[in-house]
Amino acid sequence: MAAPACSGAPSLGRAVRVGLPAPRGATASVTHGHRACPRISGAQVIAEVNAVRRKSRLKPLATDARLARVARDRAAAMAASGRLSHRGWKRALRQGGVDGHLLGENVAYNYSSAAAVMRTWLDSRGHRANILNPRFRRVGVGCVIDARERYWWVQDFAG
């Protein structure tokens, strides 16, 4: 069974937690590290984001290497800690060289495909709001698989 996702939605330049938090006690212990998801996974998420945006008559988001690097690092940190969290996400983006006044983040774990995580994010009002925010211009996706074969996803956005 997949765990709920969590969204850090933009609101006047500050993070607001929306969507469903991870259930109490839901963790994935990492005893032997993690590995990167197949490279195609992030590309599939971005392709689906842009398909949904086109259907809503919004401009597609450009893939941003800095956002992707921070997203991957955040996914790895969550996998290592075994906790789904937005803690420090804005600071991580700034330290990663991401500029812009408008930032957003979606996170999730235990969805083993791009299609599954996107379906869940799109079914959540807060996550969908990030994906369809017309002020966002760039996106980066990170994904890692922990030692228990759970996928940890991060989708970072910038205006």
User: Other CB atoms closer than 10 Å to residue 43's CB: what's the count?
Assistant: 13
* pLDDT at residue number 28: 36
CA–centroid distance for 83 within its chain? 14
CA distance 123 to 4: 11
Top-confidence residue, 27 or 33 = 33
pTM: 0.79
At 105 the three-state DSSP class reads: strand
Top-confidence residue, 155 or 40 = 155
- Average pLDDT of the chain? 81
At 40 the three-state DSSP class reads: helix
Residue the block writes with tokens 């195609």: 40
Q: Residues 51-90: pLDDT tens digits?
A: 999 999 999 999 999 999 999 999 999 999 898 878 888 8
CA–centroid distance for 112 within its chain? 14
User: Which token pair is 132?
Assistant: 């369809």
CA distance 117 to 159: 23
Alpha-carbon separation of residue 95 from 53, 98, 140 (angstroms): 28, 7, 15
CA distance 98 to 136: 13
Tell whether the model's pLDDT for residue 29 goes beyond 80: no
Phi, psi of 76 (to 5 degrees): -65, -40
Cα angle 115-43-120, degrees, rounded to a multiple of 5: 25
CA distance 114 to 106: 13
